Structure 1
Amino acid sequence: MFVAGKSLSLTGLAALSLALAGCTTVGPDFTPPATPTAQRYLSTAGAPHPSDRGPDAVKGEGPVLDWWKAFGSSELDAMVARAIENNASLEASNATLAAAREQVAAARGRELPQVDANAEAAHRQANLAAEGFDTGALPGIDATPTFDLYSVGGGVSYDLDLFGKQRRRVERAAAQAEAQYHQTQAAHLAIAGQVVNQVLLIATIRERIATAETLLDEDRRNIDLTEKRRRAGEGTLVEVLNARSQFEADRGEIPQLGQQLAEARHLLATLVGVSPAELGATDFDLAELTLPQQVPVALPSRLVHKRPDILQAEADLHAATAEIGVATANLYPDITLGATLTQASPDLFDALDPGSRGFNIFAGLTAPIFHGGTLKAEKRAAVKRAEAAAATYRQTVLDGFRQVADLLSALQNDQRSVSQQQESVDVAQRSLHLSRRSFEVGNSGVLQVLDSERLYQRAQSALVEARARQYLNVARLYVATAGGWTGDMATGDAEMMPVSDNRP
C-alpha cells in the first residue's frame, strides 16, 4: 500500500475525493426479464368445455386477500388465522426476512466513513539496542527502560469505492432481502393452502366415515332379513353367514378411516402451531362449505408480477447480476482516505494535554497485480451463476403457467366427474332398492343384494372423493394464482416490505 507523505494536506484529500466522486460502477446493470405476451394458459384445442353447474375461472387481478373466506366457513377462517399467527415455520421465515433486512443496513453502513475510537493503558519495556542505540556508549542509561503509557484517540477511514464494489454489495443485499420477502410471502400462502387442504381432507374423511356407517346400517338390515327368512324356513344359514361376513368386512374399514382422520387432525395441529391435544374440535363437513362459483384468475402477463415464487426467482437473478459487479470491481484499484488522532503520555493526567497530541492523515491505494487467476475466475463464476439464475427464473415461470393450466382444466373436468358420479350413485341406489325388494319376496338370493351394496358403496365413495377433489382443486387454483395472505404480508407493514436498491 502506498501512503501519502506529509505534503498531502486535508485540502488535497478533499480535492481528490471530489475528483473521484463521479467514479463509475462496473458490471452489468440489472434489467427485469421481459413480461410474457401470452394471453391465456390453455390453447383453444385443450380448453375444457364450459359448464353452467360448476365453478368457473374469470379474468381478473387474481384472488383477493383471505381467499379462503370464499368457502363460507367461519371455522375454516379461524383455523387459517391460528396458523398465520402461530405457525413455527412462518415465525422462522419472518425472522429470516428481518435478518436479511439488517444485512442491507449493514451493507449500506459500509458505504459511509468508518469512525472508531480507542484507548489504552500499558506498562511497557523498551529495548534501546533493538532500536539501534549504542547503550554501551551511554553510561548511566538503562538499556531496557520500563514506563507507563496512557493513550486515547480515534480514526476515520473512507473507501472512495472507485468502481462501485460497495454499491454493488448494497444492491446484492437489497435483492437478497427482496428474494427473502417473496419467500416469506410464499410461505404464508403455502401455509394457508395447507390448512385449507387439511380441513377439506378432514371433511372428506368424516363424510366417508358417515357413508361407511350408513352402509353398516344396511348390513344390519340384511342380517335381520336373512335371520327372519331362515327362521321362517325360506332362507338358509349360508345366507345369514354371507350377510354377517359382509357386515364384518365393512365394519373393518371404519378403524382405518379413523386412523386417517386422526393423522389429518395431527397435521392440522402442527400447521396451526399447537399439539394435537390442544387443537380442539374439527367437525368440518363438506356440506357446510360453499363451493365458489367463480375464481378470479390473472392473465399470464400479470401472474409473473404476483406469484411469490416467480418474484423470488427474479430477485435471485437481480442478486446474481449484482454479484458480477462485485467480482468485476475486485479487478480494479481501490483508494481509501483516512486520518487518526492520538493523545499519549506516560502520565495519566497529561494524556489529554495538547502537547501529547499526534495525528496522521493518509491516502492508501491497493491494486491487484497477481492472484493466480483467482479474481478473473471468480468473475466468470459469477457470470455463470447469473446465467443459472436466469434459467431458473424461466423455468419457474413455465412451472407456474403449467400449474395454473392444470388446475383450469381440472375446474371443469371435476364438475363433470361429480355429475357422472352422482348419476352412478343414483343408479346404484335404485339397483340396491330393487335387489332388496326382490330378496324380500324370495325372487333372488342375498348375494345379489350384497353385490348391489358393494356397487352402491363404491359409487358413494367415488362421489365423496370427486366432490372433495373439486373443492381441493379450487383451493389449489387460489394458491396457484397467488391468493392473498394476512398479517404483515397483507397490510404492507414497512418492516416486512421488500428493500429495493437499483442504483447504478
Structure 2
Amino acid sequence: MSSKGGAAVLGLLLAVLLSGCAVGPDFAAPDAPLGAGYAVGKPANVTQSAAIAGGGAQRLIHGRDIPGEWWRLFRSKQISALVAEAVNNHPNIAAAEAALRQARETTEADVGSFFPSATLSQSVARTQMTTAQFGGFSQSSSSSGSSSGGTALLYTLHNSNVAVSFTPDVFGKTARTVEGDVAAAEYQRFQLEATYLALAANVVTAAIADSSYASQIKVTRVLIADYQKQLDILQKRFELGAVSAADVVSEKALVAQAQATLPPLEKARAQTRNQLMAYLGRFPNDDKGEAIDIEHLHLPRDLPLSLPSNLVRQRPDVLSAEAQLHQASANVGVATANMLPQLTLTGSGGSQAPNFSQLFLPQTSVYNLATQLSGQAFDAGRLFHQREAKLAALEQSEAQYRATVISAFQNVANALQAIKHDAETLRAQVAAERAAAESLDISQAQYTAGSTTYTTVLNAEQTLLSARINRVQAQAARFSDTAALMQALGGGWWNRIDETPASLPKPTDLISTLPIAAAIRAEAEERSRAR
C-alpha cells in the first residue's frame, strides 16, 4: 500500500471517529442544595469559657479555610507524630492507594480502544502436495519427487503481514466507558482521602480518650488516697471512742466503692490503647507508652466554619458519592450504545513469496480492506432491559448522593452543637467540682464540731469524686469536639502538601482530543515530580 493511500485511510478513520456522538446523558455535577444550613437561625459564634485547661472560649470564623494538617492546631508534637506514623503504616492507606492505581490503570487501558489495533505476523511454511491436489504449480518454485499417488510438489512460502482493526466510536460507547472509568478513579481518589481523614481523626480522638482515661484514673487514685487518710483518722478516733463503728464502716465502704471504679477505667484505657496501636499499624505488644496530657494541649481559639455552599465540594464522602453518580450516568450511555449498530474497519497488508529475498518485491505485495456493520436483530429485549437496569442504578445513585449530602450537613450541625453545649457543660462541671470540694470541707468541719452526721461527709465525698470525673470527661470532650468539626468539614485535604493527585482528563474531551494516553502519562509524570 502506498504512503498516500495509507494516509487517506488513516484520515478516513479519524474523520469517522470525530464525527461520532456520545449517546446517553451528559453528566453535570450537582449544585449545592439551596437553602441548606447547619442550624435554625444563626448559630452562636463564641462559646462559653471556663477557668481551666481546655476551657477557653472558641470562636467560629465563617468562611475560613481548613488547614491541611488540622491536628497541628492542638500544638502537640506527640499528636502530630502519631498521625504521621498512622498514615505511613496503616494498611487501609496502602489498600486505598493501590485501589486508586488500579482504577487509573484500568482507565488508561480502556483509552486504547480509541485507537486502531495492529498485529504484525511473520511466517514460513514448507508444504508438500501432489499435482492431483493442485495442478499446474510452477516447477520453478518447487522440487519434485516420486510417490505412488503421482508427482509430489514441495514448496516454501514466506508470508509477512500487518493486520489492522479499528472500531470507530460512532455512538460514543468507548467515550462513555472511559468516562465511567475516570469516574471510578475519582471515586477511589476520594475514598483514599476519606480513609486518610478518618484515620487522622481516629488517632487524634483515641489519643485524647487515652489521656482522658489516664486523668480519670489519676483523679480517682488521688481521691482514694484522700479517703484512705480520712479512714485512718476515723479508725484512730474510733479507738479513742470519739466516733462510732458505723462511721468507720461507712468510710471503708466508700473507699471500696471508689476502688471499684478503677478497674473499669483501667480496662477502658487499655482497650483504647489497643485501638490506638491498631490505628498506628502496630500490634498490642508494640505499645511504647506514647501518650498526651490534656493539661498541656492547646484548645484552638478560632475554628474554621465552611460556608454551606462549599461543604459538598470539600467532603470526601460527598465527592465519592458524586463520582459514583457520574459513573452510573456513564453506564447508561454504554448501555444505550450497546443497542445501536457497530462499525468495524479492518485491513491487512503484506507480501507472500516463495523465498525471503523476494518477500519485499512490489509484485509479491497483497492487501485486504473490509468494512463490517453489525447490530442486534433480536435479543428478546435483553439490551433494552439492561439499559433500564442502568437507569434504575442511576436513580439509586442520585438518591444515595442526596442522602450523603444530608448526612454531611448533619455531621457538621452535630459538631457545632457539641462544641457549644460541651463548652457549657465544662463550665458547669468546673463550678460543680469547686462547689463539691467546698461542700466536703464544710461537712468535714461540721462533723468534727459534732454538728452533723458522718453521712453528710460521705455524700460530699461521693459528690466530689463524681464531679471530678465529670470535669475530666468534659475537658476531653472540648478537644474531641474540635477534631469532630474538622473531620465533618472535610479535613482540609485540598490544602495538604501531599494531596492525592488530581483526576484524569475529562472523558468529555476524549473524542476531540485523541492523544489522551499521552496526556495521562504526562499527568502521572507531573504527579511523580510533585511527590
Normalising TM by the smaller chain, what interval?
Answer: 0.7 to 0.9
- C-alpha spacing 1:225/1:148, structure 2 compared with 1 (3 Å): farther
For the aligned residue pairs, the C-alpha RMSD in angstroms reads 3.0
Q: 2:468, 2:154 → 1: CA distance? A: 98
- C-alpha spacing 1:34/1:451, structure 2 compared with 1 (3 Å): same
The equivalent residue for 1:228 is 236
Residue 202 of structure 1 pairs with residue 210 of structure 2: yes
* 1:68-79 to 2 correspondences below 5 Å: 68-79=71-82
Q: How many residues end up aligned between the 2 structures?
A: 485
- 8 Å CA contact 1:207–1:464 kept in 2: the answer is yes
- 8 Å CA contact 1:100–1:180 kept in 2: the answer is yes
Residue 17 of structure 1 pairs with residue 13 of structure 2: yes
- 8 Å CA contact 2:22–2:171 kept in 1: the answer is yes
The Cα offsets for residues 29-60 of structure 1, whole Å up to 9 and x where unpaired, read as: 11121233337421118x45853533222202
Q: 1:421, 1:207 → 2: CA distance? A: 15
Q: What secondary structure sits across from 1:305 in the alignment?
A: coil
- 8 Å CA contact 1:24–1:162 kept in 2: the answer is yes
Q: Which amino acid aligns with 1:499?
A: L
Q: 1:212, 1:147 → 2: CA distance? A: 101
- C-alpha spacing 1:445/1:395, structure 2 compared with 1 (3 Å): same
Which of 331, 344, 350 in structure 2 is aligned with 1:323? 331
The equivalent residue for 1:187 is 195
- C-alpha spacing 1:441/1:177, structure 2 compared with 1 (3 Å): same
The equivalent residue for 2:34 is 37
Which of 101, 109, 120 in structure 2 is aligned with 1:98? 101
The equivalent residue for 1:80 is 83
Which of 491, 496, 502 in structure 2 is aligned with 1:490? 496
Q: 2:456, 2:46 → 1: CA distance? A: 40
Deviation of the 1:442 alpha carbon: 3.7
Q: What secondary structure sits across from 2:165 in the alignment?
A: strand
Residue 172 of structure 1 pairs with residue 180 of structure 2: yes
Q: What secondary structure sits across from 2:115 in the alignment?
A: coil
Deviation of the 1:276 alpha carbon: 2.6
Q: 1:148, 1:40 → 2: CA distance? A: 82
Deviation of the 1:393 alpha carbon: 1.3
- C-alpha spacing 1:147/1:224, structure 2 compared with 1 (3 Å): farther
The equivalent residue for 1:364 is 372
The equivalent residue for 2:520 is none
- C-alpha spacing 1:362/1:222, structure 2 compared with 1 (3 Å): same
Structure 1 runs not aligned, ≥5 long: 1-8, 132-137
Q: Which amino acid aligns with 1:51?
A: T
Q: 1:128, 1:223 → 2: CA distance? A: 123
The Cα offsets for residues 329-373 of structure 1, whole Å up to 9 and x where unpaired, read as: 1111111222224566787x5795657654332222212211111
Q: What secondary structure sits across from 1:274 in the alignment?
A: coil
Q: Which amino acid aligns with 1:111?
A: F
Q: 2:382, 2:132 → 1: CA distance? A: 44
Residue 140 of structure 1 pairs with residue 115 of structure 2: no
TM-score by length of 1: 0.87
Q: 1:425, 1:457 → 2: CA distance? A: 9
Q: What secondary structure sits across from 1:491 in the alignment?
A: coil
Q: 1:474, 1:213 → 2: CA distance? A: 29
TM-score by length of 2: 0.83
Q: 2:127, 2:435 → 1: CA distance? A: 103
- C-alpha spacing 1:15/1:239, structure 2 compared with 1 (3 Å): closer
The Cα offsets for residues 258-301 of structure 1, whole Å up to 9 and x where unpaired, read as: 22111111111111112233342323111111111221111111
Q: Which amino acid aligns with 1:400?
A: A
The Cα offsets for residues 57-88 of structure 1, whole Å up to 9 and x where unpaired, read as: 22024321111111111111111111111111
Deviation of the 1:130 alpha carbon: 11
- C-alpha spacing 1:342/1:421, structure 2 compared with 1 (3 Å): same
The equivalent residue for 1:4 is none
Q: 2:8, 2:372 → 1: CA distance? A: 14
Q: 1:463, 1:255 → 2: CA distance? A: 20
Q: Which amino acid aligns with 1:503?
A: T
Which of 331, 335, 348 in structure 2 is aligned with 1:340? 348
Q: What secondary structure sits across from 1:110 in the alignment?
A: helix
The equivalent residue for 1:503 is 508
Deviation of the 1:146 alpha carbon: 9.6
The Cα offsets for residues 456-500 of structure 1, whole Å up to 9 and x where unpaired, read as: 1111111122222222111100110112249xx82366x732224
Deviation of the 1:220 alpha carbon: 0.8
Q: What secondary structure sits across from 1:116 in the alignment?
A: strand
Q: What secondary structure sits across from 2:150 in the alignment?
A: coil
- C-alpha spacing 1:214/1:109, structure 2 compared with 1 (3 Å): same
The equivalent residue for 1:216 is 224
Q: 1:126, 1:382 → 2: CA distance? A: 57
- C-alpha spacing 1:211/1:345, structure 2 compared with 1 (3 Å): farther
- C-alpha spacing 1:178/1:162, structure 2 compared with 1 (3 Å): same
Q: 1:351, 1:465 → 2: CA distance? A: 91
After superposing the two structures, state which structure 1 stretch, 122-131 or 274-283, moved more.
Answer: 122-131
- 8 Å CA contact 2:344–2:372 kept in 1: the answer is yes
Residue 426 of structure 1 pairs with residue 422 of structure 2: no
